[in-house]
């Protein structure tokens, strides 16, 4: 799954931004959006703009790496949940990574190819995921039937009713009611 966006860290970027005009900041934002979408480097004539771009691009790259790690961990958690639902014993993380890398294996869910590509890079450098795996507490769960309870999929009517209640609540808060 493609990362939906990137963060602008005010603390980090404000020291760079204060030295540039609105026009220069607009050009920088367009260059960063282009970099985010295409990984294409923009070459600025001004040395300060080049430095700002490099720093911001580095931040975008780190965010993309964190997002990919989170996606991979979420895919593994979905795999474990599907195994529990089917009363199967899930593989440990490393075995699962290997099976996903080989595009064979027991994963009962489809794994996005972007995660598969990152898995091979990650598994060569680290033996454990950087994101802790939540523990499963069977007593806290209502059972193996994930089609019921608070996290079950909603029908369109249920979704629409919840959506309308949320909008009404937010509107009331906005009016100070």
Domain ranges, ordered by start, for the chain = 10-125
Residue 4 in tokens: 């939906």
pLDDT for 131 beyond 90: no
Report field, pTM of the whole predicted structure over 0.75:
no
Mean pLDDT of the chain, nearest integer:
75
Q: How far apart are the C-alpha atoms of 28 and 174, rounded to whole Å?
A: 34
Instruction: State the pLDDT confidence band at 140, using cuts at 50, 70 and 90.
Output: very low
Residue 110 in tokens: 């489809």
Provide Rg for the chain, Cα atoms.
22
pLDDT for 138 beyond 70: no
């Amino acid at each position: 799954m493609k990362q939906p966006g990137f963060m602008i860290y005010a603390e980090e970027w404000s020291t760079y931004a204060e030295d540039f005009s609105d026009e220069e900041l607009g050009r920088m934002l367009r260059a960063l959006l282009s970099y985010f979408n295409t990984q294409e480097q923009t070459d600025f004539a001004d040395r300060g703009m080049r430095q700002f771009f490099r720093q911001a691009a580095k931040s975008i790259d780190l965010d993309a790496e964190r997002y990919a790690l989170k996606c991979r961990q979420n895919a593994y958690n979905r795999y474990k949940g599907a195994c529990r639902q089917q009363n199967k014993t899930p593989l440990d993380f490393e075995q699962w990574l290997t099976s996903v890398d080989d595009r064979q294996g027991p994963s009962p869910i489809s794994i996005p190819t972007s995660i598969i590509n990152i898995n091979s890079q990650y598994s060569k450098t680290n033996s454990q995921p950087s994101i802790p795996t939540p523990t499963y507490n069977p007593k806290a769960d209502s059972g193996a039937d994930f089609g019921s309870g608070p996290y079950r999929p909603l029908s369109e009517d249920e979704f629409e009713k919840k959506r309308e209640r949320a909008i009404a609540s937010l509107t009331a808060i906005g009016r100070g009611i």
